[in-house]
Structures are given as structure tokens and as C-alpha cells.
Amino acid sequence: MAVPIRTAVAGLCAGLLAALLTNAPAQAGQREEGAWTVSSAAHAPHARISLDDTTGTLSLSVTRAGRTVLEPSPLGIVTEQADLSQGLRFLHARNRTVDERYRAVSGKRLDRRAHMRETRLSFATAAGARLDLVVRAAADGVAYRYVLPSGYGDVLGEASAFRLPADADAWLSAYRVDNEGQFAEYTAATAPTRTYADQALFATPGGYTLLAESGLTGSYSGARLAHTQGTGTYRIQLADERVHTEGRSATPWRAMITGDLATVTRSTFTDDLAPASEVADRSWIRPGTVLWTWLAGGRTAGQSLAAQKAYVDYAAERGWPYEAVDSGWYFKKDEWDVTDPDWQTTSWMPELVRYARARGVEIIVWIHQRDLDTPAERAQWLPTLERWGAKGVKIDFMNSETQSMLQWYDTILPETAAHHLMVDFHGSTIPKGIQRTWPHVMTLEGVGGEEKRTNTAAHLTTLPFTRNVIGSMDFTPGAFQRVGLRPNSDAAEVGLTVAYESGLQMLAGTPESYDERPLARAFLDQLPAAWDDTRLLAGRPGREAVLARRSGDRWFLGGVYTGTARTAEVPLSLGPGRWLVETVQDGTGGLVQNRQVRRDGDTLTVAVADNGGFAALACPWRPGVNTCYR
């Protein structure tokens, strides 16, 4: 029996509508009774904000693919004039979509898109005090912040906390003011009672979750995580007991990067949350490889023009664009007559800059923060460094995330940009979105790096999934001469230069150590200035990490491992076709090179030494192609 056309069309439309509703992305701010859900898509993380009608308290939970990522966790903030952690009632909600495209100058990839759904929920106490809670959800994370009207006085603390499943594996670093603690593995509940760095990683059901912070400025205070053993709760503890506010204020974003390990590793969520670039002309900002001379020669080298010229010569020979002069070069500045308009001529730095520039090398100089902490000192130093021709400044020993120090960052960032000085912060905070807003910040330490004599192989294999997810990390790899002072093999040391991303990749070896390892030296000569894409090929925090980073049509691979020697198997995911893969790996008498041709999806096999690793260069294979090196 024939079906009437009108009936058929109606049935078809109903079916299409049902399909669309089934597959439609979750909408921002979907409201249930006493709760709101925010998500960017059906398969993306879902944030659920709940209001307890009895206590007037707020909580936030996160699920992904129907599985719990974050258990209901308290929200709220307390100021001098209002307790906004309880007694709240709902007023109204506003929803919007954030969709921004921007281009970075360094990092995991250059071209980026920030696509997030946002819900802004307004609440009030019985006394009329107002609180806005802004929640954003993206494909790779969830974040929230508080917005306060003016007149509420100083912030005294937050009720904010993260409640993780108690049995979730956790990789945590004990909090230090310089963010240089080692990462160790626990579970969420068994981690000892203490405070931890806020870049904490948890293996949550169905994936991983990295806690983070973004948009931190001198209008607020840095955060750390306070934990009591036996619970899965990690409370936000501020660096200041009292945070001064003026006028309307907003806190930094409390962020959770979540997904499978590849998603977390590749995420730029903390940058996506941050304000857009404040630097209009970025033509002078150029990432690149740096010959860093501190571990090569220490303060003695820093005090010697002859030694620095020798390092410049070596960088020029290698084609490395930068040489960094570390501590010692101006330690006798107290002898300079700074009242003399020509006081700068007593330094040999201008001569070194001229010498280096004639050889195609630019100079980056170290300076202590205490010599830049007043307007007069900055007016003395920054124009001088620009006039000399220095291309960057490595500022050291901030060692604080208090509001007063963050206000110093707020001052030094536009001033260094105005004088066209790229910046490397040491003894510092971690990026937290700073590299999007101030792209001349090429890298920050905030890591237990190559200088440490107590690093473990487990720490080295955890960093790509924790600290380096947040932004560029100045670990300073390549210190081949520190045999016995580092836990890894030579091939792993080469691999770190790819596994760890840094806008200025400071290589910490001596010229002699590079020359003794020609395969390592040749690989370092190939390192690009920036990356077009990043992928995780294999990994488990504390055990192994293999990352691939693309520049043009070539992929660079860096792998680091813990444990005894073995044959590592790495699944290749580089793109269609056949690939020539040239590995640098450990052999019985030193580094050796191996060439393999593999199709995308094949397994790359690499012999790995005890606590070893490898580096590799891959390019599209075609007949006649026998090397990827250029």
C-alpha cells in the first residue's frame, strides 16, 4: 500500500529532527533543577554546576564520555565584606560561544583555534552581595573563574577545591617557590599531606586530567594545591593571606585539561583561556637554538670576554642563532660610575654583541631580578641592553608567586616588549597563559631542570605530561658533559631537545662534549626554531614519553624511558605514505645511527639503553632519498 507523500515527508522530518537532537552538541548553560551543564560537544567534557538549596553552596563536577573526571567539588570565595561560599541564591544565566583563532610564535603548534562554550551564572547572598561564576568548556578542558563587583574588599581565600577519585594515579610535585620540585607518583588519596604545584596530573576514569591555572596577573595571587593524606581533595591555597582588590575584579582561571593522554599532551587550553597578544609588531620575536654557557663554563666564563667570543665562534660554526651569557658578566658593575652618561662603555658586552652579530649570532644576557625591581633600575638597564643590541634577557630569582611579585611581572612584561627584548624567566612562575598575551616570553624555567643533580629518570618522563603541557619549559637539555650527574643516557639527552618544548632551546653542553658526539651535534644542527604540530606517539608518565614535532614536511621525534635496556616499539602516526626515519640511539661504543623506511601506522623499533631514549628525524621517503638531514 502506498504511503501518502505528506505522511512520508512528515516522518522523514521527524526522523531527521530526532537524529539532529541525538547528535547535537550539548549547549552551554543547560539547566536542570538546581544545576547547569556546560559542554562544547556531546563527546567533550561536561561541567555540571550545582546549587544546594539548603546551604546555598556551589559545587562543580566534570564528566567525559559518561565517566567521572572530577567529583562534585566546592566553589566559592571569601572577601573582607562578603562570604560568597555559602548562602547563595541563583539570579540569572548568560551563555555565549568563544571562538578565536590566533597565531603563536612558539609552542606546540603555531596556528591555533580556541573554541569554547561559556556560561556566566550570577548569584547573590541574602544581604545582596553578588558573585558571578564564569564556566568555560572546550574539547580538551573545563575552566572557571569568579568575577566580583567593586567594594567587597580584599580576598581572604577561596573555597575552591578539586575532588579526584581517591584511587586515581597521581603525578605531583611538592610546591616550591621556584617551581623546581621533582614529580613523583602516588594515588590521589595516598599522596602525603603537604602543598603541591598546581600542575598536577591524575589518571581519571577514561583518561587523564591535568590541573592548571591561566590568566594569572598582579591583580591576584598565585595558587598551590593543599592536600591532606587519605582524601582525594586538593584545595586552592593562595600565596598571600590577603589579596588586595581595586574595583571590579576577576580571579585567574581554575582549569582542568582532560582527555586521553595524547589530548592532554597536545593541549593549548591554558593559552586559549588567556587574553590575546599585547604585542602588535612581533617581527623581532624569533625562537631558536641557544648555546647556553653556564654549565659549560660557569661564572668564570661569564666574566671572560675571550671565553664568550669562543662560544660565539662555536655557535656561528654550528649555525645556532643565539649565545647566552649567564651570571658573572656584570658582577663588577658597582665599580661603574652610573652617574656618568657613558657608564655603559666600561662593559665589554657591546663589543661581544658586535663581534657576535658580525658572525650571524645574537646575544642573550642574564640579569638578576633584584637589579630590575625598581623603575630607576629598569630605566637604567633595559634601554642600555637594547642600545647594545642584545636580543634577549634571562631574568632570574623571582622565587615568588605573591601578588607583589606578580605585579612586578605586569610591569616588566610591557617594558621588555617596548625595548624589543625577548625574555627567559628563571626562578619563576610557570607560563599560565603568559606566552599568548606576551609572546616575547620565549620560555620559563619553573622546572627541576638539567642543573639539578638529583633528577630521576621517572621525573624526566613525567615532564612532557605535566609542566611542559602548560607552556615552554627551559629545562636546558644537552648537558652531555654531566656524565654521572644526570640519570639518562646520551641518546635520551638528545631526545630531550624534542620531547621538551621551549621557544629558546638552551643547549647546556660544552663545545667539546658536542664534538665528541658528532651524531648528537648533527641532530642539534637540524633543530627548527618553532613547531607546526605536536603529537604524542607513546607514553605513560614516569615510564616513557615519545613525542613527534613537525616542522614543514619533516617530523622530529624524541623519546625518553625508564628502566632496563630493551627494544622499544613506537607506533608511527606521521601522515600517509612511506617515511624515512633516521634514529640516533645508544650503541656499545657511543651513539649510533639507524635508518628505517616505515609506512604510517607501522611500528618503529629502537634499541634503548638503561634509562635511555632516542632522537629521530623523519621525512617523506621516495626513491633516491637517503637522508632527512639538510
Amino acid (1-letter code) at residue 107: G
Q: Is 202 helix (H, G, I), strand (E, B) or coil?
A: strand
Instruction: Indicate the angle between helix axes 375-388 and 403-418, nearest 10 degrees.
Output: 30
Q: What is the pLDDT of residue 346?
A: 61
Range with lowest mean pLDDT among 17-26, 152-161, 392-401, 601-610: 17-26
Pairwise CA distance, residues 323 & 289, whole Å: 9
pLDDT-derived band at 302 (thresholds 50, 70, 90) equals confident
The mean-pLDDT minimum among 7-16, 56-65, 443-452 falls in 7-16
Mean pLDDT to the nearest integer, 12-35: 49
User: In the prediction, which pLDDT does 31 show?
Assistant: 65
Non-local CB neighbours of 400 within 8 Å, separated by 6+ positions: 177, 239
Q: Of the listed 132, 180, 396, 493, which one is catalytic?
A: 396
Is the pLDDT reported for residue 438 higher than 60?
yes
Mean of pLDDT values over 182-194? 98
Across 508-529, average pLDDT: 97
pLDDT tier, 50 (very low <50, low <70, confident <90, very high otherwise): very high
Give the pLDDT mean for 4-32: 43
**What is the pLDDT averaged over residues 283-295?**
96
Whether residue 223 has pLDDT greater than 90: yes
Per-residue model confidence (pLDDT) at position 28: 54
2.70.98.10, 3.40.50.12780, 3.40.640.10, 3.40.1080.10: CATH of 25-273:
2.70.98.10
- Rounded Cα distance between 546 and 557, Å, is 7
Average pLDDT of the residues in 7-15: 41
State yes or no: is 451 an active-site residue: yes
1 pLDDT exceeds 50?
Answer: no
Report CA dihedral (350, 355, 359, 363) to the nearest 10 degrees: -30
Where do the DSSP E strands lie in 381-516? 392-396, 422-425, 441-444, 504-507
The answer to whether 132 touches 146, Cβ cutoff 8 Å, is: yes
The pLDDT > 70 percentage for the chain reads 93
Mean pLDDT score, 503-514: 97
Looking at residue 332, its pLDDT comes to: 52
> Does 401 participate in catalysis according to the annotation?
no
- pLDDT higher than threshold 70 for residue 22: no
Per-chain mean pLDDT for the chain = 93
CA distances from 146 to 136, 150, 157, 428, 555 (A): 12, 13, 12, 25, 41
Catalytic: which of 169, 415, 451, 516?
A: 451
* pLDDT tens sequence across 603-617: 999 999 999 999 999
Global confidence as pTM: 0.93
Taking residues 69-83, report their average pLDDT.
Answer: 97
pLDDT band at 331 (very low <50, low <70, confident <90, very high): low
413-434 mean pLDDT: 98
The model's confidence at residue 341, banded by pLDDT at 50, 70 and 90, is: low
- Per-residue pLDDT at 26 exceeds 50: no
Asked if pLDDT for residue 7 goes beyond 50, the answer is no
Angstrom distance (rounded) from CA 620 to CA 628: 8
* Rounded distance between C-alpha atoms, residue 29 and residue 38, angstroms: 5
Average pLDDT rounded to a whole number, residues 204-231 = 97
Backbone angles phi, psi at 379, to 5 degrees: -65, -25
Q: Which helix (H) or strand (E) holds 130?
A: strand 130-138
pLDDT of residue 8: 40
- pLDDT average, residue stretch 197-208: 95
Instruction: Decide if pLDDT at 5 tops 50.
Output: no
Query: Which residue in this structure is represented by grid cell 593571606?
Result: 241
Closest by Cα among 519, 527, 469, 485 to 108: 469
Residue 255 has pLDDT above 50, yes or no: yes
Q: What is the mean pLDDT of residues 490-503?
A: 98
Q: Mean pLDDT over residues 539-543, rounded?
A: 97
Q: Can you tell me the distance from the alpha carbon of 487 to that of 513, in angstroms, rounded to the nearest whole number? A: 17
pLDDT at 482 over 80: yes
